[in-house]
């Protein structure tokens, strides 16, 4: 999922999309267009907050493409010769059914784009809610799977005639999560490195914290005029301002880790850590919440144990699992 239910400190505009659950209010349709050079940002409902999103339309002299056809494009999708998908999450492909043209995504996310079953399994939900979520993906996000989709790799270049779109692999959110650098306009679409106060989301089965941090560092190395995000922060002008906002975004990871270390002053199980909530605020409910909290906790624990900061101290009472505490 692109922007999940709100985290600590998230403002009203950033949390409104998901207070009602995984999908939130999905009544709005349509988009507005904002131009940045020859790049058109198709701004989704509520400034692209989940379950909506911001799509791109890029035109050259010989071809055009759309990036991440969102829910807001379901009724009014602009024509294009090609669709590029930043990663296989439902809010980035809800409008894909409107396009009978070639579709490409990074090879690491290709299976999830081709099959809704694979996409849903990647969320890592409890087995008793998988069917319900699968139905939601089909009926509310229009996810059907694109078995005709093909894969690209880091550095692939799409020439539209006088304008190129270059793939920048930015894994971590998903294994195949990618951005797109559009030249000569100097527009860098960073997708779900979205700069919201919720912070980085690395709670899927295939997510990776270390990769996410490396991807944020890679973003800093790319000097662009504009940096486009998938959700409500929209487009940021200038590398300095983007860097400032990226610092704040990355700082959420540090705060989560600090909160975990403080909680590990005495031995804790992963289930206790998940209940303490590193990611979601206490009132947020949904079948995805505890699985995401567990996976996020484990990613941080693995890193902290590798650094020697946290140790496994005991197995606890039967059925309680392993316990961890600060060394």
- Residues 6+ positions from 241 with CB-CB distance below 8 Å: none
Question: Cα(292)–Cα(242) distance, rounded to whole angstroms?
Answer: 28
Cβ–Cβ < 8 Å for 1, 284:
no
Read off the pLDDT of each residue in 89-104 and give the average, rounded to a whole number: 98
pLDDT for res 22 = 54
Strands (E), the chain: 32-36, 39-43, 55-59, 64-67, 82-85, 103-106, 150-152, 157-159, 164-169, 178-183, 187-191, 226-229, 235-237, 268-269, 310-314, 323-326
- Residues 6+ positions from 127 with CB-CB distance below 8 Å: none
pLDDT digits (tens, 9 = 90+) for 35-45: 999 999 999 99
pLDDT for res 18 = 32
Q: Which helix (H) or strand (E) holds 289?
A: helix 289-306
Q: 11 pLDDT exceeds 60? A: no
Q: 155 pLDDT exceeds 90? A: yes
| Res. 57 pLDDT band, cuts 50 70 90 | very high
- Nearest Cα neighbor of 272 from 219, 325, 228, 225 is 325
- Residues 6+ positions from 107 with CB-CB distance below 8 Å: 151, 152, 153, 176
pLDDT for res 314 = 74
Read off the pLDDT of each residue in 87-107 and give the average, rounded to a whole number: 98
- Nearest Cα neighbor of 68 from 93, 89, 39, 32 is 93
Mean pLDDT of the chain: 91
Question: Cα(77)–Cα(107) distance, rounded to whole angstroms?
Answer: 25
- DSSP 3-state of 249: helix
Which residue shows structure tokens 């909680």? Answer: 263
pLDDT for res 321 = 78
Percent of the chain having pLDDT more than 70? 89
Considering only residues 313 and 99, tell me which one the structure prediction assigns the higher pLDDT. 99
Question: Cα(67)–Cα(165) distance, rounded to whole angstroms?
Answer: 10
pLDDT for res 59 = 98
Question: Cα(327)–Cα(324) distance, rounded to whole angstroms?
Answer: 9
pLDDT for res 30 = 87
| Res. 26 pLDDT band, cuts 50 70 90 | low
pLDDT for res 25 = 52
Q: 89 pLDDT exceeds 50? A: yes
pTM: 0.91
Cβ–Cβ < 8 Å for 180, 165:
yes
pLDDT for res 229 = 98
Structure-block tokens of residue 116: 């809704």
pLDDT digits (tens, 9 = 90+) for 257-316: 999 999 999 999 999 999 999 999 999 999 999 999 999 999 999 999 999 999 998 765
């Amino acid at each position: 999922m692109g922007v999940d239910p709100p985290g600590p400190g998230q403002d009203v505009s950033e949390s409104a999309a998901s207070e009602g659950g995984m999908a939130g209010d999905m009544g709005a349709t349509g988009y507005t267009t904002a131009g940045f050079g020859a790049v058109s940002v198709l701004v989704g409902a509520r400034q692209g907050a989940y379950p909506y999103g911001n799509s791109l339309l890029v035109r050259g002299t010989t071809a055009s493409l759309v990036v991440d056809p969102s829910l807001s494009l379901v009724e009014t999708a602009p024509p294009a010769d090609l669709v590029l998908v930043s990663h296989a999450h439902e809010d980035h492909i809800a409008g894909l059914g409107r396009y009978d043209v070639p579709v490409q995504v990074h090879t690491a996310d290709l299976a999830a784009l081709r099959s809704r079953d694979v996409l849903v399994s990647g969320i890592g939900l409890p087995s008793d809610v998988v069917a319900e979520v699968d139905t939601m993906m089909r009926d509310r996000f229009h996810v059907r799977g694109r078995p005709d989709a093909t894969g690209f790799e880091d550095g692939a270049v799409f020439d539209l005639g006088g304008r190129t779109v270059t793939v920048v692999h930015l894994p971590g959110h998903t294994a195949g999560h990618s951005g797109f650098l559009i030249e000569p306009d100097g527009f860098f679409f960073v997708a779900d490195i979205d700069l919201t106060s919720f912070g980085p989301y690395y709670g899927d089965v295939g997510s990776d914290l270390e990769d996410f941090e490396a991807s944020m560092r890679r973003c800093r190395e790319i000097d662009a005029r504009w940096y486009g995000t998938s959700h409500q922060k929209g487009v940021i002008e200038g590398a300095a301002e983007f860097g400032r906002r990226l610092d704040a975004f990355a700082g959420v990871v540090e705060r989560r880790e600090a909160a975990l270390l403080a909680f590990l002053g005495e031995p804790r199980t992963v289930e206790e850590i998940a209940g303490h909530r590193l990611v979601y605020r206490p009132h947020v409910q949904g079948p995805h919440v505890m699985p995401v909290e567990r996976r996020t906790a484990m990613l941080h624990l693995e890193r902290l144990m590798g650094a020697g900061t946290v140790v496994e101290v005991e197995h606890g009472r039967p059925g309680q699992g392993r316990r961890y505490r600060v060394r």
